[in-house]
Structure 1
């Protein structure tokens, strides 16, 4: 049995997909956003953000973040560093303790992108 395929004249072919209705994200912004989203792509980091966001004034001491996530202090500190470097948290030192505060603008940026 022989199968025959119809040849389509590409100059008269109808587009199979609709044209873009808005400008896609530029490469540089996609790379920056990927780094940001990668920082969120960890269950422990999401949990830490949630704990800080749920704390009074959206701020928590590192001493209050270790036990709820069930990880060692160095591991929690690493995750907090990633979240701080990505702009989701800010850090301030008070005596021997570090306090982390939620940065809502960083979350809004991600939410705006995902909602678009």
Structure 2
């Protein structure tokens, strides 16, 4: 689906799922995130996150880019203007899942530190530190 075909009903169907809503809100606060960052932030299995990301990409809400073995997602820069106030209002309402996932990203450090840990051989250390330092 292209952004031209994205209707309010289609948008709300996408955002009706808490995982998809959380993914969209996280991507609205970051320039882009790697699948492994999203997996860790949502504390969910990678296949589940990838399935939801694919749904959002097909709807025209996201763009993905491959860099080596990793895929980075960002909001589609060509989203219609009417979508942005909806996303802002949703973020301002701060759903609990978004708040928790956003805090996990913050605790994990900067994007470059998260991605370095993510791309290391073991991703288990990515969010293991409670001090925000990557082990």
Q: CA RMSD in A?
A: 2.4
Q: How many residues align?
A: 82
Shift in Å, 1:36 = 2.7
| Superposed CA offset, 1:61-115 (max 9, x none) | 11110011121100000010011111111011110000101125436333579xx
Match of 1:101 among 71, 74, 86: 74
Runs of 4+ in 1 over 3 A off after TM superposition: 109-113
Partner of residue 108, structure 2: none
2:27 is the counterpart of 1:52: yes
Which consecutive unaligned segments of at least 5 residues does structure 1 have?
1-28
CA distance in 2, matches of 1:110, 1:44: 18
- Please report the TM-score for the alignment, with normalisation by the length of structure 2: 0.53
2:50 is the counterpart of 1:77: yes
Distance 1:107 1:79, change over 3 A: farther
Question: What SS is found at the alignment partner of 1:106?
Answer: coil
Partner of residue 86, structure 1: 59
- Which of 1 and 2 has greater Rg? 1
CA distance in 1, matches of 2:80, 2:33: 17
Question: What SS is found at the alignment partner of 1:108?
Answer: coil
Contact 1:88-1:107 within 8 A present in 2 as well: no
CA distance in 2, matches of 1:81, 1:48: 11
